[in-house]
Structure 1
């Protein structure tokens, strides 16, 4: 999935060059993303993101290919050499499983081993008809197949500068607040304080973010800021509704 990813799209596609087909689902790029993708043989499909969010984009992608197996790759991710070999072996075996793959996050050039950006597992490899995506922001899958895990598959170059970080921060906190509002979730001021402080404690202490040095502290603090902003935007949604009524 892409939107204005001209700086990332070539490297992402090169890491997936072993695939039989590369499909780009774009939500409105105004840069050279389409030109660069099509120049390298990708199938490029424009599809505006609607209220179904990222899950809607991923579900739409499944309708645009006839491939028996699919692997989802974001533009800021790279498949490792080991990952390529493992993916090809699984597809060749045609095992009836869904796979969550390990993703190692690289933040401002630093590999993060702890905290909120420690290596995580994301559902990416499965038979095309085996899953349905759910969730506007932190989307997940619904499946009846067994779920297995694969290690050392992806490198995730999350942020390279703070302008990019805060643009994504603003977008994601808005989407998260809207998703909570759609589910009729509400929160008190005390609840906001508790969740905000809890986010820092969870990232910096429980997930050992302090072991990633100063950047570990900064990203734990930003996790706290993300939580605060998300809930403040949620309260603002309800306040605006009251003003209009």
Structure 2
């Protein structure tokens, strides 16, 4: 058997279906980032553990979770509230755990958007490390998300999981990606100044994960990124074959890329407030008497 961690923040619409899909395991741990909706209330309707911890970043939240909340079993699976476990995937996880050669496994997502699997324009199969031996994996921040650090060899599972990326509506998607674009802009500036492109992995990477990460590092350095991303997703990857949902998906991704570029420009060129001057003004203001403030 394996333990399942479920990460949540304001997921009252998704949490029930997510937990029910994971109840193939008898050890489910909901790690909530102090939601303001009924996520915790709904989660407690099920036989699960619920722990709340203030969110700092995706990497730190995962690392805190793994270090602070002991699972019942040696192997764990990380699930997010808008994702689902399937019986086929769960069965393959149990089988894979018996292989002593690997400490973790990557699993591919099936992005569901506008009631359709976006098969082509999402770079399917796009893998995430989800199943691993507890104590052998931790996470670092990268852009708006995280990257895993593994103490041992990893492999890939054949089964996939559905990811309902827009299950809470387009407004929530836009709000979320507005936040994500800020972190991505910061990571873009850092990579342009300190990073490089791993050309060997780009063409001869041992896995899709290595190739995709090298491709992202390259994309940060290309001109007209929003337009190139749309053309790449729609024509080269075949997003045009995903129908109306594919057109909408590619357009949203190009918009997201453009938002990142705008924030990169803003971070580089917009003047920052002088904290020293502000501190001096606040200090002087605090020393003034009420009549003096009124006279001003």
Question: What TM-score do the two structures reach when normalised by structure 1?
Answer: 0.88
Q: Report what 1:173 is aligned to.
A: 181
The structure having more radius of gyration, on CA atoms, is 2
Q: Report what 2:215 is aligned to.
A: none
What is the CA distance between 1:184 and its match in structure 2? 7.1
Q: Report what 2:19 is aligned to.
A: 13
Q: Report what 2:121 is aligned to.
A: 115
Q: Report what 1:235 is aligned to.
A: 265
Q: Secondary structure at the match of 2:43?
A: helix
How far apart, in 2, do the equivalents of 1:34 and 1:110 lie? 29
Q: Could you tell me which of 195, 198, 204 is aligned with 2:228?
A: 198
The count of aligned residue pairs is 239
How far apart, in 2, do the equivalents of 1:130 and 1:55 lie? 15
Structure 1 residue 139 corresponds to structure 2 residue 169: no
How far apart, in 2, do the equivalents of 1:2 and 1:179 lie? 24
What is the CA distance between 1:81 and its match in structure 2? 1.4
What is the CA distance between 1:4 and its match in structure 2? 0.8
Q: Report what 2:280 is aligned to.
A: none
Structure 1 residue 58 corresponds to structure 2 residue 62: yes
Q: Report what 2:10 is aligned to.
A: 4
What is the CA distance between 1:175 and its match in structure 2? 2.3
Structure 1 residue 214 corresponds to structure 2 residue 244: yes
Residues 124-165 of structure 1: CA distance to partner in whole angstroms, max 9, x if unpaired?
A: 000011112122423221113222111223111111332122
**Contact 1:4–1:31, Cα closer than 8 Å, also in 2:** yes
**Contact 2:108–2:124, Cα closer than 8 Å, also in 1:** no
How far apart, in 2, do the equivalents of 1:116 and 1:153 lie? 14
Q: Secondary structure at the match of 1:145?
A: coil
The 10-residue stretch of structure 1 (1-10 or 211-220) with the greater mean CA deviation from structure 2: 211-220
Distance of aligned partners of 1:241 and 1:48 in 2 relative to their CA distance in 1, 3 Å threshold:
farther
Q: Secondary structure at the match of 1:28?
A: coil
Query: Structure 2 regions of 5+ residues with no counterpart?
Result: 1-6, 195-220, 276-296
Q: Report what 2:171 is aligned to.
A: 163
Residues 17-68 of structure 1: CA distance to partner in whole angstroms, max 9, x if unpaired?
A: 1223211221121111111112212222211222xx1111111110212431
The 10-residue stretch of structure 1 (73-82 or 172-181) with the greater mean CA deviation from structure 2: 172-181
Question: What TM-score do the two structures reach when normalised by structure 2?
Answer: 0.73
Q: Secondary structure at the match of 2:226?
A: helix
How far apart, in 2, do the equivalents of 1:32 and 1:77 lie? 18
